[in-house]
C-alpha cells in the first residue's frame, strides 16, 4: 500500500524511555515512529510474519515477483559489485610494477587511492538523483559503461600521471555499486530478509576486494599489469551484457487503478487504555473479537493479484528507461539535509565510513610495507594476503545476518509482535572490539616485523567485525528510513568514502611522524570509539526516531514513491 497525505499527518505520542522496547502504556500500537512495524501477528493462529514494506496487488510490483526473478536481478546487481570492486582493488597489487614501469611513487600511490575514494563518494552523490528520474536499470548500464572505458584506459597507461585520473574515473564508475545495490535490495525484499541480503552484498563486495587481488596478483606476475586490466575489461563487458539482456527495472510506480489490500494499520482500535501501572504490552496488542475476525480475514489468505493488471512483456521490462515526471533537483542537496538532521542516517553513514577508513589504512600499509625487507613479497603473494580478510568477511556476513533476521522475529514476538530497528544493534558491540583487536594485532606485528601470517590474522579478525558492524548499520538504515532510503544511501556513500579520502591523504605524513606502532595504536582507539555509537541508539534510538518523525515525513513527501511500512 502507498502512503497518502493523510497518513503523513498521523498523531505521535510523547516519547518514552528506551531502555526497553516494550509498547508503553498510552502508546497507540498503530501510530509507530518511523521503522517500528508490527512484524509478527499476535492474532493470526499461525503467528505468521507481516510483510513490510506492504506489497500491492499488482504482479509487476517487484515485491510480488517470484523468488527466481528477484534473485536473478540481485545476482546481476551483485555481479556489478564484484567487477566494480575488482577494478577499484587492482591498484593494490599493481604498485610494484607501476613503480617499475611508470615511475609511480608511494605518495602518488596513496593519492591514487584517495582520489578513487573521492570518485566513489562524489559519483554516488551525482548519479543517484538520476536514479529517481530514470530508474535503476539505466544507471547500472551507465556505470558499467564508464567502468568499461576506464579499464581500457588503464590497460593503455604510459606515464606516472595517468594512474591518478584512471583511479578517479574508476571510482566514478563504481560509485553506484554501494548505494544503488542497497536500494535494489530494498526494492525486492522485505524487512525480515534485509540482513541476509545485506550480508550477501557484503560477501560480494569482499569477493571483488579480496579474491580479485588474489587472482590479479598471479596475473600480474605471469602476464603483466596490462593484461590484468584487459582481463578486468572482459569481466566488466560480461556484466554489462548481462544487465542489458536480463536486468529488469525495480523502481515501481503504482497504477492508479490498483486497489491495495487491507492492512492492520487501517483497523482503528478505540479500546480505553488502562493506567500505566497495570498495563502490559500483551494487553495493549490485543483486539476485540470483531477486530480479531477482521484481522484474520485480512491475513489468513495469501495476497491475490489483480486480474485486470497484465504482466509486462519482456521488451517492456527491459526498456532502457521509463522517465518519471516531476522535479528531482532537490535530490542533489537533500542527502546533506537528511544526514545533518536525522541521527539514524548519520550513525549509519559515519559507521560505514569509519569501517572503510580504518580498513584502507591496513590495506595501504600492507600493500607497501610487505614489498620491503624483511618481507620482500611479490604481487602474487601480496594478492594472497587478501584471502584472510575475505574469509573474515564471509564468516561475519554468512553467520551474523541469518542470526539477525531470525532474532528480530523472536524479539518482536516477545515485544507483542512489534519490531523496533534497535533490536538489530546489539551485535555491533562485539563487532567493534573485533575491529579494535584486528587493528592492534596488524599494526603491532607490522611494527615489530613479525611473520606475514600474523598480519593476515589481524586482517582476518578486523574483517569479522567489519562485516558485523557494516551489516548492522546498513540494515538499521533500511529498516528505519525506508521512505527516504535513496537519499539516505547517498549520504552514507558520501561519508563512507570522504573519510577514506581524508585518511589516505594524511596517512603518509601520519605514519612518517608517529611511526607504525603509535599510528596503529591511535587507529585502534579511534576505531573502538567510533564503532561504539550504537550504545547511544540502544538507549535513545526510538526516542530520536519519534522526535524526528515530522522531518522524516517532510523528506518522504519528496520521494518518487513511498510504501506503507
64 or 275: which leads in pLDDT: 64
| Closest by Cα among 498, 494, 493, 427 to 465 | 427
| Closest by Cα among 466, 461, 431 to 444 | 461
Domains held by the chain: number: 1
Burial class of residue 513 in the structure, from the number of CB atoms within 10 Å of its CB (0-12 exposed, 13-18 middle, 19+ buried)? exposed
In tens, the pLDDT along 174-203 reads 988 878 888 898 889 887 788 888 889 888
Burial class of residue 110 in the structure, from the number of CB atoms within 10 Å of its CB (0-12 exposed, 13-18 middle, 19+ buried)? buried
Please spell the DSSP secondary structure of 490-532, one letter per residue: HHHHHHHHHHHHHHHHHHHHHHHHHHHHHHHHHHHHHHHHHHT
What is the per-residue pLDDT for 331?
82
457 or 404: which leads in pLDDT: 457
Contacts 24+ apart (CB under 8 A), 391-394: 391/460, 391/463, 392/459, 392/460, 392/461, 392/462, 392/463, 392/464, 392/466, 392/467, 393/202, 393/203, 393/205, 393/206, 393/210, 393/463, 393/464, 393/466, 393/467, 394/203, 394/206, 394/467
What is the per-residue pLDDT for 15?
34
Sign of the Cα pseudo-torsion (548, 551, 556, 557, in order): positive
What is the per-residue pLDDT for 256?
52
What is the per-residue pLDDT for 533?
93
In tens, the pLDDT along 411-431 reads 888 888 888 999 989 989 999
What is the per-residue pLDDT for 556?
85
* In the chain, % of residues over pLDDT 70: 81
What is the per-residue pLDDT for 399?
81
75 or 381: which leads in pLDDT: 75
For 265-303, the three-class secondary structure string (H helix, E strand, C coil) is: HHCCCCCCCCCHHHCCHHHHCCCCHHHHHHHHHHHCCCC
Domain assignment present for residue 25? The answer is no
Mean pLDDT for the stretch of residues 166-171: 93
Average the pLDDT over each of 5-19, 22-36, 373-387, 531-545 and give the range with the smallest value.
5-19
Q: Is the pLDDT reported for residue 296 higher than 80?
A: no
For 390-445, the three-class secondary structure string (H helix, E strand, C coil) is: HHHHHHHHHHHHHHHHHHHHHHHHHCCCEECHHHHCCCHHHHHHHHHHHHHHHHHH
In tens, the pLDDT along 46-99 reads 555 667 777 778 888 888 999 999 999 999 999 999 999 999 888 878 878 888
What is the per-residue pLDDT for 286?
40
Domain assignment present for residue 512? The answer is yes
Domain assignment present for residue 35? The answer is no
Q: Is the pLDDT reported for residue 342 higher than 90?
A: yes
Domain assignment present for residue 540? The answer is yes
Q: Is the pLDDT reported for residue 8 higher than 70?
A: no
Domain assignment present for residue 471? The answer is yes
Domain assignment present for residue 501? The answer is yes
Average the pLDDT over each of 34-48, 411-425, 483-497 and give the range with the smallest value.
34-48
What is the per-residue pLDDT for 307?
54
Average the pLDDT over each of 125-139, 265-279, 341-355, 426-440 and give the range with the smallest value.
265-279
Mean pLDDT for the stretch of residues 271-276: 37
239 or 217: which leads in pLDDT: 239
pTM value surpassing 0.85: no
What is the per-residue pLDDT for 273?
36
In tens, the pLDDT along 507-547 reads 878 888 889 999 999 999 999 998 999 999 999 999 999 99
What is the per-residue pLDDT for 525?
92
- Grid coordinates standing for 80? 556489478
| Closest by Cα among 393, 493, 386, 477 to 434 | 393
Instruction: List the domain range (segments joined by +) for residue 460.
Output: 62-252+335-556
Ranges 143-152, 246-255, 349-358, most confident: 143-152
What is the per-residue pLDDT for 443?
94
Average the pLDDT over each of 36-50, 74-88, 360-374, 454-468 and give the range with the smallest value.
36-50
512 or 270: which leads in pLDDT: 512
DSSP helix/strand/coil, 329: helix
Q: How confident is the model at residue 384 (pLDDT cuts 50, 70, 90)?
A: confident
Mean pLDDT of the chain: 80
What is the per-residue pLDDT for 541?
92
In tens, the pLDDT along 121-131 reads 888 888 888 88
Domain assignment present for residue 295? The answer is no
What is the per-residue pLDDT for 118?
85
What is the per-residue pLDDT for 37?
81
CA separation for the pair 396, 513 (Å, rounded): 34
Q: Is the pLDDT reported for residue 116 higher than 50?
A: yes
What is the per-residue pLDDT for 300?
34
Longest dimension (CA), the chain: 80
CB 368 within 8 A of CB 376: no
Half-sphere exposure of 412 (CA within 13 A, CB side): 26
Contacts 24+ apart (CB under 8 A), 306-312: 306/57, 306/58, 306/59, 306/258, 306/259, 308/257, 309/57, 309/58, 309/59, 309/60, 309/255, 309/257, 309/258, 311/59, 311/60, 312/60
Domain assignment present for residue 427? The answer is yes
What is the per-residue pLDDT for 244?
94
What is the per-residue pLDDT for 562?
53
* In the chain, % of residues over pLDDT 90: 33
CATH classification of the domain holding 491: 1.20.1250.20
Amino acid at each position: 500500500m502507498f502512503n497518502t497525505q493523510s497518513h503523513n499527518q498521523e498523531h505521535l505520542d510523547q516519547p518514552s524511555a528506551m531502555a526497553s522496547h516494550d509498547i508503553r502504556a498510552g502508546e497507540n500500537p498503530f501510530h509507530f515512529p518511523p521503522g517500528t512495524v508490527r512484524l509478527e501477528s499476535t492474532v493470526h493462529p499461525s503467528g505468521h510474519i507481516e510483510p513490510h514494506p506492504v506489497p500491492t496487488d499488482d504482479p509487476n510490483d517487484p515485491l510480488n515477483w517470484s523468488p527466481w526473478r528477484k534473485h536473478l536481478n540481485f545476482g546481476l546487481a551483485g555481479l556489478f559489485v564484484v567487477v566494480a570492486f575488482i577494478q577499484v582493488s587492482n591498484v593494490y597489487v599493481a604498485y610494484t610494477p607501476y613503480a617499475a614501469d611508470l615511475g609511480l611513487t608511494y605518495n602518488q600511490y596513496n593519492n591514487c587511492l584517495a582520489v578513487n575514494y573521492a570518485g566513489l563518494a562524489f559519483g554516488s552523490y551525482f548519479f543517484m538523483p538520476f536514479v529517481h528520474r530514470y530508474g535503476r536499470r539505466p544507471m547500472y548500464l551507465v556505470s558499467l559503461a564508464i567502468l568499461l572505458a576506464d579499464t581500457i584506459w588503464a590497460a593503455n597507461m604510459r606515464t606516472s600521471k595517468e594512474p591518478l585520473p584512471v583511479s578517479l574515473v574508476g571510482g566514478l564508475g563504481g560509485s553506484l555499486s554501494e548505494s544503488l545495490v542497497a536500494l535494489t535490495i530494498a526494492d525486492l525484499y522485505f524487512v525480515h530478509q534485509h540482513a541476509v541480503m545485506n550480508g550477501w552484498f557484503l560477501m560480494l563486495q569482499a569477493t571483488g576486494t579480496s579474491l580479485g587481488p588474489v587472482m590479479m596478483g598471479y596475473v600480474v606476475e605471469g602476464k603483466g599489469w596490462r593484461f590484468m586490466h584487459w582481463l578486468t575489461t572482459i569481466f566488466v563487458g560480461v556484466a554489462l551484457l548481462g544487465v542489458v539482456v536480463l536486468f529488469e527495472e525495480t523502481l515501481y510506480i503504482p497504477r492508479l487503478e490498483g486497489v491495495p489490500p487491507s492492512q492492520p494499520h487501517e483497523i482503528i482500535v478505540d479500546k480505553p487504555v488502562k493506567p500505566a501501572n497495570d498495563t502490559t504490552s500483551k494487553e495493549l496488542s490485543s483486539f476485540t473479537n470483531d477486530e480479531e475476525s477482521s484481522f484474520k480475514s485480512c491475513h489468513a489468505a495469501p495476497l491475490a493479484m489483480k486480474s485486470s493488471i497484465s504482466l509486462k512483456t519482456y521488451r517492456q521490462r527491459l526498456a532502457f528507461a521509463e522517465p518519471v515526471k516531476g522535479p528531482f533537483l532537490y535530490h542533489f542537496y537533500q542527502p546533506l539535509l537528511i544526514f545533518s538532521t536525522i541521527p539514524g542516517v548519520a550513525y549509519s553513514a559515519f559507521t560505514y565510513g569509519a569501517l572503510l577508513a580504518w580498513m584502507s589504512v591496513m590495506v595501504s600499509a600492507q600493500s607497501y610495507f610487505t614489498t620491503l625487507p624483511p618481507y620482500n613479497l611479490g604481487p602474487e603473494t601480496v594478492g594472497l594476503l587478501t584471502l584472510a580478510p575475505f574469509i573474515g568477511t564471509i564468516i561475519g556476513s554468512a553467520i551474523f545476518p541469518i542470526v539477525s533476521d531470525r532474532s528480530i522475529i523472536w524479539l518482536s514476538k516477545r515485544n507483542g509482535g512489534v519490531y523496533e530497528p534497535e533490536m538489530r544493534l546489539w551485535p555491533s558491540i562485539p563487532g567493534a572490539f573485533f575491529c579494535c583487536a584486528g587493528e592492534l594485532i596488524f599494526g603491532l606485528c607490522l611494527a615489530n616485523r613479525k611473520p606475514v601470517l600474523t598480519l593476515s590474522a589481524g586482517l582476518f579478525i578486523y574483517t569479522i567485525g567489519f562485516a558485523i558492524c557494516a551489516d548492522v548499520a546498513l540494515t538499521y538504515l533500511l529498516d528505519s528510513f525506508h521512505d527516504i532510503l535513496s537519499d539516505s544511501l547517498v549520504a552514507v556513500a558520501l561519508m563512507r568514502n570522504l573519510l577514506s579520502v581524508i585518511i589516505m591523504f594524511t596517512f603518509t605524513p601520519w605514519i612518517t611522524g608517529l611511526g607504525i606502532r603509535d599510528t596503529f595504536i591511535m587507529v585502534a582507539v579511534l576505531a573502538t570509539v567510533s564503532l561504539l555509537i550504537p550504545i547511544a541508539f540502544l538507549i535513545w534510538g526510538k526516542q530520536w526516531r519519534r522526535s524526528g518523525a515530522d522531518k522524516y515525513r517532510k523528506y518522504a513527501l519528496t520521494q518518487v514513491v513511498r510504501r506503507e511500512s
